[in-house]
Structure 1
């Protein structure tokens, strides 16, 4: 599901937007492409230092949407980007957490996104 083209995009620096929604309006937080860990073709690990509202939302509704992109990634004229939909959970221990903590020491939890769909947007 997470293609070579997706991996090419996140190998360049760019911003990641994470959208969650519980019972209120949608909430958006950001991180950087370079912080992501992709352990397999359907899982994205994201470091969480804050993201308290995102976590509260996913406890009510575990669906999330992410956009990832990079202007530097070769694509059409403007780089490349993707819209990803999936389910989310936050972990404070385990191998995914340990892997993220080693890469991003500032993390207090890891946001694990299980991808259900991916669409090229740029």
Structure 2
């Protein structure tokens, strides 16, 4: 599945992250081009995401949905992947420095460790 994830991230698209909110799922979006993917982990620059950070302190499990219409999927053009992982927002890891150099607005980095992934389309 890593190869499919890497291929999707080569194309611009929405990278959606869903966490458990108080009364309803909480979702944030970023762009595929902002994301670093290595060793079964995502690293995403964080500007705001204050509510997301609050919710992750209570429950760190997230669902990530990525996709592109540019790749052949299961039923034709368009490939999507659903990912389940554990997330945290940090600013004391090397990847934060890497992303901060590229995106000066980043106040932290969200690290998502992949637990499961499935092709959906």
Secondary structure of the residue that 2:77 maps to in structure 1? coil
Instruction: Give the aligned partner of residue 45 of structure 1.
Output: 43
Instruction: Give the aligned partner of residue 82 of structure 2.
Output: 83
Instruction: Give the aligned partner of residue 108 of structure 2.
Output: 109
Residue 6 of structure 1 deviates from its aligned partner by: 1.4
- Aligned 8 A contact 1:22 1:60 in 2: no
Q: Which whole-Å CA distance do the structure 2 matches of 1:119 and 1:81 have between them?
A: 9
Q: RMSD value over aligned CA atoms?
A: 1.3
Residue 105 of structure 1 deviates from its aligned partner by: 2.0
* TM-score scaled by length of structure 2: 0.92
Q: Which whole-Å CA distance do the structure 2 matches of 1:68 and 1:121 have between them?
A: 10
- Aligned 8 A contact 1:12 1:73 in 2: no
Q: Which runs of 5+ in 1 are unaligned?
A: none
Q: Which runs of 5+ in 2 are unaligned?
A: none
Residue 22 of structure 1 deviates from its aligned partner by: 4.1
Instruction: Give the aligned partner of residue 8 of structure 2.
Output: 9
Which protein is richer in strand relative to its size? 2
Instruction: Give the aligned partner of residue 92 of structure 1.
Output: 91
Q: Which whole-Å CA distance do the structure 1 matches of 2:56 and 2:30 have between them?
A: 17
Residue 27 of structure 1 deviates from its aligned partner by: 0.4
Q: Which whole-Å CA distance do the structure 2 matches of 1:53 and 1:78 have between them?
A: 35
Q: Within 5 Å, which residues of 2 pair with 1:43-82? A: 43-75=41-73, 76-82=75-81
